[in-house]
């Protein structure tokens, strides 16, 4: 039996309560709950907040999409998002009046809403379509920010577009012909750092993106550790950040603290349903594989990486690719060049727009050496 997918209408109008707490205070509290994976509590705060209806719509839509994904229901999450954006578009269109004092804020969230659609295409490896929808959203967000530079949440959306445009330019010549990859990546990072330092509602998401980038794209573990430590203090229940922080600790040689972070992992998965537990158990095994590899236990590491490869979820294609890459690296370290090249080629053939693909291309030409 398939799960019943919630509708945006139900999310918006179910249990809509009056409230006399300042809107920004409630919104910030709600975002904090969502970032800590306390989805029902966060959504209740969004419903209570005295904020423009389109803004409420954005937060409810995004948080439900995130909740479905965290629980491993990727097809349902994408279906919910596509249908929700169709419904939300009418709400935004009716509110976009230039005489409205909230016009710039509503325009910013409208752009962010359109940008969400690009995530569906990215998850399905339809990167150029994702780029197109990201551009549509970026243009509205940038216009809103130019109208009101106090909208620091816009920095996150602009940073996401700039940074991942740069990444796309590294992988697709048609994008690279129009965009300077290095410049776009630097610009995106600058926006993320501004959102981290100046944003309130967007600080946590900016921190997550910076942590992800410094672990997987730039291998700058000191920066990753600094951000990860703060995120763990504020949002201990965020499994994605916990996973990234643990991996950064392992790759930096801080095994004792990594043991502690991994040891607490199951404490924060009790709320997940069966599919969610399966997804995050596999993510934990990936981190344990990295741990074993860094400790020199290649046999255990490869066994765990192979389990990830065989059981990965489509949304986490990058997890499969990094496992393939790591097995190739271990083969190189053991002098088995033929095996190493076979695994590197599988990464390249995935056509993912991740650092793993660029690294695999490099190691096909020259053996991996730490």
User: For residue range 173-184, what is the model confidence (pLDDT) as tens digits?
Assistant: 777 888 899 999
Residue 302 domain flag: yes
Structural domain harbouring 351:
273-370
Q: Is the dihedral of CA 75, 344, 283, 161 positive or negative?
A: negative
Q: Does 115 map to a domain?
A: no
Residue 335: which CATH number? Answer: 1.25.40
Residue 20 has pLDDT above 50, yes or no: no
Whether pLDDT at 253 is above 50: yes
Measured in whole angstroms, the distance separating CA 263 from the mean position of its chain's CA atoms is 23
DSSP result, 101-141: TTHHHHHHHHHHHHHHHHHHHHHTT-HHHHHHHHHHHHHHH
pLDDT in tens, 318-361: 889 999 999 999 999 999 999 999 999 999 998 887 889 999 99
CB 159 within 8 A of CB 189: yes
In a domain, 48, yes or no: no
The pLDDT of residue 161: 86
Q: Is 5 a residue whose pLDDT tops 60?
A: no
Total number of domains constituting the chain: 1
Q: pLDDT per residue over 302-327, tens digit each? A: 999 999 999 887 566 788 999 999 99
Residue 23 has pLDDT above 70, yes or no: no
Average per-residue pLDDT for the chain: 88
Name all contacts of 249-252 with Cβ < 8 Å and 24+ positions apart. 249/225, 250/287, 250/290, 250/291, 250/294, 251/215, 251/219, 251/221, 251/290, 251/294, 252/221, 252/222, 252/225
């Amino acid at each position: 039996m398939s799960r019943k997918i919630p509708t945006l209408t139900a999310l918006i109008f179910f249990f809509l309560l009056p409230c006399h707490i300042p809107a920004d205070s409630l919104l910030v509290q709600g975002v904090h709950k969502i970032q800590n994976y306390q989805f029902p509590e966060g959504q209740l705060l969004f419903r209570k907040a005295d904020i423009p209806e389109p803004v409420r719509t954005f937060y409810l839509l995004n948080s439900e999409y995130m909740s479905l994904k965290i629980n491993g229901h990727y097809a349902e999450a994408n279906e919910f998002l596509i249908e929700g954006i169709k419904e939300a578009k009418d709400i935004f269109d009716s509110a976009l009046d230039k005489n409205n004092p909230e016009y710039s804020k509503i325009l910013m969230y409208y752009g962010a809403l359109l940008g969400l659609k690009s995530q569906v295409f990215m998850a399905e490896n339809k990167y150029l379509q994702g780029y197109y929808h990201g551009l549509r959203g970026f243009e509205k967000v940038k216009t809103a920010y130019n109208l009101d530079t106090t909208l620091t949440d816009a920095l996150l959306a602009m940073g996401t577009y700039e940074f991942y445009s740069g990444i796309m330019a590294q992988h697709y010549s048609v994008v690279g012909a129009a965009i300077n990859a290095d410049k776009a990546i630097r610009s995106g990072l600058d926006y993320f750092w501004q959102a981290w330092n100046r944003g309130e509602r967007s600080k946590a998401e900016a921190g997550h993106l910076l942590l992800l980038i410094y672990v997987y794209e730039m291998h700058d573990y000191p920066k990753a550790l600094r951000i990860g430590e703060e995120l763990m203090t504020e949002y201990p229940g965020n499994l994605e950040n916990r996973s990234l922080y643990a991996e950064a600790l392992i790759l930096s040689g801080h095994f004792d603290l990594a043991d502690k972070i991994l040891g607490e992992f199951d404490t924060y998965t009790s709320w997940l349903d069966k599919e969610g537990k399966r997804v995050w158990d596999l993510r934990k095994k990936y981190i344990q594989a990295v741990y074993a590899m860094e400790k020199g236990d290649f046999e255990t590491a490869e066994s765990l990486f192979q389990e990830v490869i065989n059981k990965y979820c489509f949304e986490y294609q990058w997890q499969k690719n990094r496992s393939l890459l790591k097995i190739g690296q271990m083969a190189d370290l053991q002098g088995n060049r033929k095996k190493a090249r076979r695994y590197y080629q599988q990464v390249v053939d995935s056509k993912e727009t991740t650092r793993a693909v660029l690294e695999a291309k490099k190691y096909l030409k020259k053996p991996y050496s730490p």
